[in-house]
Amino acid sequence: MPQANAFDSDSLQQIVEAASRAAALSADGARLLRIGENAIYRLAHDPVVVRIARSAARMDTARRELCVARWLERRAVPTIKVHEVADQPLLIEGHPVTFWRAVSGPRGGDRGPDRTDLARLLLAFHGAKDCPCELPAMDPSSWAKVEERISAATGIDADAREFLSARNAELAEKVKNLDYALPRGPIHADAYTGNLLIDDGVVVLSDYEGVSIGPREWDLLPTAVAVDRYGLPEEEYREFVDIYGFDVREWSGYRTLRQVRELGMTTWLMQNVNTDPAIAEEFNVRLSSLRESEFERRWRLF
């Protein structure tokens, strides 16, 4: 399998140019929007976004993203759309590359996407039939790769490691016995308003890296947790529930699944405690609230 080159601006520029040539597009003036798990470029001469993944190991994920977007479009679920290029995802210098139609973004007077949009889109997504994509099974207990994060983490003491590992093992056992209320099926797995975009005045769903087969309750957790952890007003949460038609907080397994997600949110932050004193401080707040079972203690968003 080809090895990926360094994921920096120089190598990425070469990749976006080669990928654009292969797709009969021009990379002249292409603008780097962001670098994270993927590098995202906006082409200057065509309404196209180029998405470059970090390594060839992400080819299956790239194929799945394309498949999910095409499926949702066929099912009339508002979604980002694929810019059709033969044989994509392309593999350029060890990096999977996919092409997407650029969204227009908000226009003057457009409000930003909110949780009512999220509820409506999740309802449509969960109701879409006959998914043709090969989706992995999502196991909530291994979603956050907690043990991998603990092993790799620096800047946390042995006591914190021991607590987080023990909590992870405890929750993994509890998850096995959950009695889900909603039917299992395709889930987004990262369902929050940051993954909503605006295209020609329509709010659309994006980011299909985590799409999998799992409990629908998982997609409802971020909005429910936001009430107690981030101060989302109760009336906004009720609007979300009224549109979707199910209140995950009333489900018997909510407390357990919420703790799984919050453990993942805490260990995600833990990975960067050495980079910013504010992150280190927030990690300690979260760790303390998990230890003390303080379910309504406020967390800061990062």
Reported as a single tens digit per residue, the pLDDT across 156-186 is 999 999 999 999 999 999 999 999 999 999 9
Alpha carbons 274 and 52: distance in angstroms, whole number: 28
Which residue intervals of the chain bear CATH 3.90.1200.10? 115-291
Structure-token match 């190598």, residue found: 11
Reported as a single tens digit per residue, the pLDDT across 190-243 is 999 999 999 999 999 999 999 999 999 999 999 999 999 999 999 999 999 999
CB 282 within 8 A of CB 299: yes
Cite the beta strand spans of 67-209 per DSSP E. Answer: 90-92, 95-101, 185-187, 196-199, 202-205
The DSSP secondary structure of 22-64, one letter per residue, reads: HTT---TT-EEEEESSEEEEE-SSSSEEEEEESSGGGHHHHHH
Which run of H or of E encompasses 207? none
Alpha carbons 24 and 18: distance in angstroms, whole number: 10
pLDDT given for residue 93 in this prediction = 94
Paired residues of 236 in beta bridges: none
Return the CATH architecture of domain 9-101.
Answer: 2-Layer Sandwich (3.30)
Which run of H or of E encompasses 213? strand 212-214
Alpha carbons 143 and 178: distance in angstroms, whole number: 16
Cα distances from 140 to residues 16, 43, 73, 121, 221, in angstroms, run: 35, 37, 27, 22, 12
What is the model's pTM? Answer: 0.91
pLDDT band at 5 (very low <50, low <70, confident <90, very high): low
Reported as a single tens digit per residue, the pLDDT across 109-138 is 778 899 999 999 999 999 999 999 999 999
Alpha carbons 64 and 208: distance in angstroms, whole number: 8
pLDDT at 1 over 90: no
pLDDT given for residue 112 in this prediction = 86
Alpha carbons 39 and 4: distance in angstroms, whole number: 13
Return the CATH architecture of domain 115-291.
Answer: Alpha-Beta Complex (3.90)
Cα–Cα–Cα angle for 32, 34, 40, nearest 5°?
Answer: 65
CB 290 within 8 A of CB 167: yes
Which residue intervals of the chain bear CATH 3.30.200.20? 9-101
Reported as a single tens digit per residue, the pLDDT across 263-288 is 999 999 999 999 899 999 999 999 99
* Token pair listed for 120: 């409506």
